[in-house]
Amino acid sequence: MVARLRALREHLPPSYVLPLLFGALVLATPWLVDNGIEVPSLGTGPALIHEVEVIAIYATVVVGLNLSYGFAGELALGQAAMFAAGAYVTGMLAIGSIYPHKLNELLITVPASAVAAAAIGFLSGVPGLRLAGWALAYTSFFLVLIIPDMASAFPNQTGTFTGLSPIPDPVLLGHKLDADGIFRVIVASAIVVFAVFRNLVVSRHGVALQVLRQSPVLASSLGISVYRTKLFAYVIGAVPAGIAGGFYCYLNNFVSPGLFDMYTSIGFIAASVLGGSRTIYGAIVGVLVIEELGPLHTSVFTHFALPIYGALLMIGGVVLTGGLSGSVGSLVKFLRRRLFQVTPARLVPREPTLDLGQFDGAELRVTGAVKRFGGLTAVADVSLTAKPGQVTAIIGPNGSGKTSFLNVISGFYRPDAGTVVLGDRDITRRAPRTVALAGVSRTFQTPSIPSGLDCLQVVASARYARDRSGVLAAILRLPSYRRRVRADEREARRLLGATGLAHLAGARAADLPLGTRRLLEVARALAARPSLLLLDEPASGLDAEDVRRLGWLIRAVAGAGATVIVIEHNFQMMLEVADVINVLRAGALIASGPPAAIRVDPAVMESYLGEAVAVEGPAAPETGEREPAHP
């Protein structure tokens, strides 16, 4: 039964076929209308055509908003300003108020509108994204507030409060467009915008955005620039609003400041939230509901439009995190998982192949590292060296400064003194992203796995920053892009196999048990082909079997040439796995040496294991027989 269903899935058409068919159907609306077709509540005849045009325009705006809000996680309130900029630029060019000659060619006006929206996005996004969150919300909100000011500041170009009218009908390649022509152009451009955004979201870049949304810390540890990626999403997300504004100008036949206010933006956001901000096609659903099927359609309710939007945003923000179409989507996913996918027993790792390839390990030399937090010295003058091909352990009780030290190496803390050198490169006080790109990969105490990605995507996400591919190449699915995706997949599959997770390639990564997620993090860290691998308490919370597998894996990584630093509580495991053990106490290094020496070091006994153990003699007897091999 399951096998048959799985075979059936193989024969399903690709996911873009259905939306394309829908687009073609919408394009055919005038023909359908001529043949007497009517859609309930959307009307019939010219009214229906007009509604479809409006929905296509608004949905174009919302799909851009979804990229910056839903996928990059930054809420901007300025969509109305981008929309207005698009409408004004097209209006001014078409009427000829900004340039001595009328430029009413669609291939000039609409691209100019897109550029204007992107420019405004860039100018407000560069400062607004420094802090992101509220700062971006407010800078973009401010843009909407100054629309009337700008209109009255340039009366000759914008016509102030009365605005620009009438806008002449557009010309495409020298031919004046009739009503049908305008319809076709609007719907076709909406289809193109949706296709572009769909391809962008279902690509390496889309995965990078999801990583970013999950955690900026994770993104920068994978070498992904948080700031640039957010700016990219915000600027690209503004472009459809500009395009839509251009068409809106033609459709409306006039432009005035009164058409665009804060509550225009709120309407777009409400549509985005309602349709599901982390979707592409949800934009159509959201706009359809807001514009037509919702209570706003009845004029009696217009008075209460704002309270209803407000309530919608609150309910949407709290309950429908994925929106209406998101809810349907997760139901589908749930059923699919039930029918095709793994049972819990399969979620545990299997025997690893340990086929890791070679790593170009580099020696890490830390000298005199100091990190203070106010009066507390978390890392006090620590110097140590970690060699390629070796496992260097750092142990110590809670609060001894282990993780702080790791953060000093990986760039998340800026040390107050000391130097960190990797190979022949000084990485002291470098940003986490630079450190990552210099060849340092890490895992986290609490595994950081973006929700909504499968294991293959999680592992491949580490290759995004190392092996860059252009956005255009991804949107157009050029051969160079496809090559990179195949390389990503090949490498990710190999590392999943190496860590014993090959059978989980298609499983939702965030749902896996803790031990499996830890191994997955190691696989992801390795996918960046690091010269230095930092593991932050990889064994905590694992059962004995998982710890054993992890030990093998760590040895194998060092054996493949990488420099490995492990921070651990599990003294026993480190005695078996490490080549060199460094012991921290209150931020200072109190001992350093091979496991055999550390096990009997009196200072270590006293501080780390407690005096009782020191009295009883060296740790449990069986450890002596399982000494790790020293190179």
Partner 1 sequence: MITTLYAALFAGALYATVAVGFNIVFIATGTFNFAQAQYAMLGLWAAWIGLEVLHWNLVLVILAGFAVGAFIGLLNERLAIRFLPSTGVHGELVTTVGFSVLVVGLAIAVFGDNPQVVHSTITGNQAISLLGGRVYPYELVMVVVAVAIVVGFELLSRRTMLGLASLATAEDRVAAILKGVNVRRLQIGAYMVAGGLLMAVGPFIAPVTYATTGIGDALNIKAFVAMSLGGFGSPKGALIGGMCAGLVEAVVGRYLSANFQNLALLAMLLTILMLRPYGLFGERVERAV
Give the residue with the Cβ less far from partner 1, 450 or 530: 450
Q: Does 211 contact partner 1 by CB under 8 A? A: no
* DSSP for residue 293: I
Number of helices and strands (H, E) in the chain? 28, 12
Beta bridge partners of 395: 568, 583
Q: Does 317 contact partner 1 by CB under 8 A? A: yes
One residue of 194, 444, 571, 608 binding partner 1 per CB under 8 A: 444
Using H for helix, E for strand and C for coil, what is the string for 79-147? HHHHHHHHHHHHHHHHHCCCCCCCCCEHHHHHHHHHHHHHHHHHHHHHHHHHHCCHHHHHHHHHHHHCH
Q: Does 139 contact partner 1 by CB under 8 A? A: yes
Dist. CA 341–CA 375, nearest whole Å: 53
Give the residue with the Cβ less far from partner 1, 137 or 342: 137
Shortest distance, position 217 Cβ to partner 1, whole Å: 6
Q: Does 227 contact partner 1 by CB under 8 A? A: no
Count of residues that bind partner 1 according to CB under 8 A: 59
Q: Does 307 contact partner 1 by CB under 8 A? A: yes
Q: Is 235 exposed, middle or buried (0-12, 13-18, 19+ CB in 10 A)?
A: buried
One residue of 308, 588, 590, 614 binding partner 1 per CB under 8 A: 308
Shortest distance, position 124 Cβ to partner 1, whole Å: 7
Q: Does 269 contact partner 1 by CB under 8 A? A: yes
Q: Does 149 contact partner 1 by CB under 8 A? A: yes
Give the residue with the Cβ less far from partner 1, 59 or 65: 65
Q: Does 537 contact partner 1 by CB under 8 A? A: no
Which residue's entry shows tokens 């390496």? Answer: 204
Sign of CA dihedral 150, 152, 157, 163: positive
Give the residue with the Cβ less far from partner 1, 271 or 348: 271
One residue of 41, 44, 152, 480 binding partner 1 per CB under 8 A: 152
Q: Does 175 contact partner 1 by CB under 8 A? A: no
One residue of 21, 146, 376, 597 binding partner 1 per CB under 8 A: 146
Q: Does 128 contact partner 1 by CB under 8 A? A: yes
Task: Describe the strand order of the beta sheet including 391-395 as a list of residue ranges.
Answer: 440-442, 532-536, 563-568, 391-395, 580-585, 588-593
Shortest distance, position 212 Cβ to partner 1, whole Å: 10
Q: Does 142 contact partner 1 by CB under 8 A? A: yes
- Contact string (CB under 8 A) for partner 1, positions 472-511, x = contact: ----------------------------------------
Q: Does 234 contact partner 1 by CB under 8 A? A: no
Q: Going by DSSP bridges, is the β-strand pair 425-426/417-422 parallel, antiparallel, or unpaired?
A: antiparallel
Q: Does 306 contact partner 1 by CB under 8 A? A: yes
Decide if 185 contacts 52 (C-beta within 8 A): no
Shortest distance, position 220 Cβ to partner 1, whole Å: 9
Around Cβ 7, how many Cβ atoms within 10 Å? 9
Structure token digits, residue 212: 């970013």
Structure token digits, residue 306: 């704002």
Q: Does 313 contact partner 1 by CB under 8 A? A: yes
Q: Mention every residue, 6+ apart, whose C-beta is less than 8 A from residue 131.
A: none
Dist. CA 410–CA 435, nearest whole Å: 6
Q: Does 279 contact partner 1 by CB under 8 A? A: no
Dist. CA 524–CA 463, nearest whole Å: 9
**Helix residue ranges per DSSP H, 411-478:** 432-437, 455-460, 471-476
Shortest distance, position 271 Cβ to partner 1, whole Å: 13
Shortest distance, position 437 Cβ to partner 1, whole Å: 18
- One-letter amino acid of 470: G
- Contact string (CB under 8 A) for partner 1, positions 24-63, x = contact: ----------------------------------------
- Residues contributing to the site for partner 1 (CB under 8 A): 73-75, 77, 123-124, 126-128, 130-131, 133-135, 137-139, 141-143, 145-146, 149-150, 152-153, 213, 217, 262-263, 266, 269, 273, 303-318, 321, 373, 403, 407, 412-414, 444-445, 536
